[in-house]
Amino acid sequence: MNAPEPVTDTSNTTAPPRARLSDRMRGVAMWLVIEQVASLGTRLVSNVVLARLLTPEAYGLVALMWTLIVALGLFSDMGVSRTVVQSPRGDEPDFMNTAWTIQMIRGLVLAVLMLLLGGGLALAQAQGWLNGDNLYSDAHLPPMLAVMSIFMVLVGLESMRVHVAHRHMQQATLTKMSIVTQVASVSVMIPMAYLTRSHWTLLAGTLTAMSLAMILQRRWLSGPPERWMMEPAARRELLGHARWILPATALGFFGMHADRMILGGLVDATTFGLYAIAYTLATLPWSLLQTLGGKVIFPALSETVRERPHDLPRVFLRMQRLFDLALVSSMVALALCAQSLVNLLYDARYTGVGPLLAILALGFIGGRNQVVEECYMSSGQPKYTMLAQSCRVAALFLGLWAGFHWGGVPGAVMGVAASQYAAWPLAYWYRWRHGLLDWRADLLLIPAALGGAVVGLGMDRALGFLAQVLHR
């Protein structure tokens, strides 16, 4: 693949003419869909091939390792990337260098924590403090955590040019880099898995992708080279946002994982497996919309706030209508064809996935206020993001407990779904206070739901017919 044209150097005092915001948003959305499709295809090929070369134990070890890495990352997220996208100073070299320095320090601290975690596990294993029947007692895990400290260092070295590209919605080069690094990763993993049959294959693929990304960021994206700097005003702005973003991302970790952590202690393995499949299927359309929210809506709202704040209500309402149309119609359709989809994809043992999938799909409609939450950040008010996460986490714990107590597993899943709506009062209050509330725009929810119902009923019949044909 030829190297893409470098992203315009934003350190210049004169910027070239830009396309209209709506045109750039469509362009970013198109490139993100291409990236998602390419990523899905690459992962499918690699999973099919590697599953025949590696053992399930290798995937279990790596899955546990990544859970620990994600937890460390979320509990230490300072929101550097979002602040660079949002801040009026996001293009200034001194601001970017200060942000890069803070990011680098965080990466080094996380690398040390990974080494300490690996060493602590090794000591616990040597002393016999861990039960021999779980993954934490596996002797391969401590050296894996130690090696992945390199990953944390590479994360800290990520170029600020990536965040500047997101700021200016220049997604084409970022998508090409993502595809190149994924292909490189698979090209390393498959031969290595064939030769070694080792769990180290999966780590080698990750480190290859990250190392190549570090090179491509500095070759394909133009801009001044990063250097160590702690400019006082920039530091205050970045750390000022971090005091709200840190607890928000920590709460986000519980919001994403607490349902499975709690249900795992309430139900048997079979029931938990059915819930895990239902949750995975329900998040497929939601994950794409979340990506669009973070990489299209957030930069667009941030630019509007910086350059023409008087236009924010119009831009916000337009984005909210489009997001509602996509989210509500897709989730209603998924809820209505859930059982037929499960019958098509799985055998009779998995019939119970259908009702759980339908409940979760209707719950994800509560995520329509992601547009408002992107507005919190783009307006420099991350405290509202933390409050929204707090509402959802509190409702999740309460809904799971009450739902399971009164309605068993279906009641618990209803509690999970209902928790997605917990931050709606905050969102509507914020919209009212900042002139972003237009009840006429919210009426689009009705035709979006009706359209999704028509599509869902049609899909239900089509998928049901296919299931009967294939399972004869």
- Span 446-464, pLDDT tens digits: 999 999 999 999 999 999 9
- Report, as an integer, the average pLDDT of 150-165: 94
Residue 346 in this model has a pLDDT that exceeds 70: yes
Residue 261 in this model has a pLDDT that exceeds 90: no
- Report, as an integer, the average pLDDT of 252-272: 79
SS3 7: strand
Hey, what amino acid is at 5? E
Q: What is the pLDDT of residue 472?
A: 67
Q: How far is the C-alpha of 248 from the C-alpha of 255, rounded, in Å?
A: 10
Percent pLDDT > 90 in the chain is 60
CA count, 13 A, side-chain hemisphere, 443: 3
Q: What is the pLDDT of residue 132?
A: 64
Q: What is the pLDDT of residue 185?
A: 95
Q: How far is the C-alpha of 111 from the C-alpha of 154, rounded, in Å?
A: 10
Q: How far is the C-alpha of 234 from the C-alpha of 237, rounded, in Å?
A: 5
Residue 16 in this model has a pLDDT that exceeds 70: no
pLDDT digits (tens, 9 = 90+) for 373-426: 999 999 989 899 999 999 999 999 999 999 999 999 999 999 999 999 999 999
- Report, as an integer, the average pLDDT of 119-146: 85
Contact indicator for 10, 303 with CB cutoff of 8 Å: no
SS3 76: coil
Contact indicator for 342, 351 with CB cutoff of 8 Å: yes
pLDDT digits (tens, 9 = 90+) for 110-122: 999 999 999 999 9
Residue 88 in this model has a pLDDT that exceeds 60: yes
Please give the radius of gyration of the chain, using alpha carbons only, rounded to the nearest integer: 23
For the beta carbon of residue 431, count every other beta carbon within 10 angstroms.
21
Q: What is the pLDDT of residue 249?
A: 85
Q: How far is the C-alpha of 419 from the C-alpha of 281, rounded, in Å?
A: 18
Q: What is the pLDDT of residue 259?
A: 84
Collect all residues with Cβ–Cβ distance below 8 Å to 443 and sequence separation of at least 6.
none
- Phi then psi for 168, rounded to 5 degrees? -100, 10
Contact indicator for 321, 441 with CB cutoff of 8 Å: yes
Token pair, residue 338, equals 């859930």
Q: Which has the minimum average pLDDT: 15-19, 21-25, 138-142?
A: 15-19
pLDDT confidence bin for 134, thresholds 50/70/90: low
Q: Which of 321, 323, 331, 348 has the alpha carbon at shortest distance from 440?
A: 321
Contact indicator for 398, 345 with CB cutoff of 8 Å: no
Burial annotation 124-153 (CB, 10 A radius, 16+ → b, else e): ebeeeeeeeeeeeebebbbebbbbbbbbbb
Q: How far is the C-alpha of 366 from the C-alpha of 282, rounded, in Å?
A: 13
pLDDT confidence bin for 58, thresholds 50/70/90: confident
pLDDT digits (tens, 9 = 90+) for 213-243: 999 999 999 888 999 999 999 999 999 888 8
Angle between helices 200-220 and 171-196 (to 10 degrees): 150
Pairwise pLDDT comparison (135 vs 469), residue with the higher score: 469
Residue 14 in this model has a pLDDT that exceeds 90: no
Q: What is the pLDDT of residue 190?
A: 94
Q: What is the pLDDT of residue 370?
A: 92
Collect all residues with Cβ–Cβ distance below 8 Å to 241 and sequence separation of at least 6.
78, 79, 82, 83, 380, 382
| Concatenated DSSP letters of 332-345 | HHHHHTHHHHHHHH
Contact indicator for 319, 297 with CB cutoff of 8 Å: yes
221 bridge partner residues: 7
Q: Which of 173, 237, 199 has the alpha carbon at shortest distance from 27?
A: 173
Q: Which of 49, 55, 40, 46 has the alpha carbon at shortest distance from 200?
A: 55
Cα angle: 420, vertex 424, 430; to 5 degrees: 140
Task: Scan for tokens 């049959």, then name that residue.
Answer: 197
Pairwise pLDDT comparison (253 vs 31), residue with the higher score: 31
- Report, as an integer, the average pLDDT of 287-299: 89
Mean pLDDT of the chain: 88
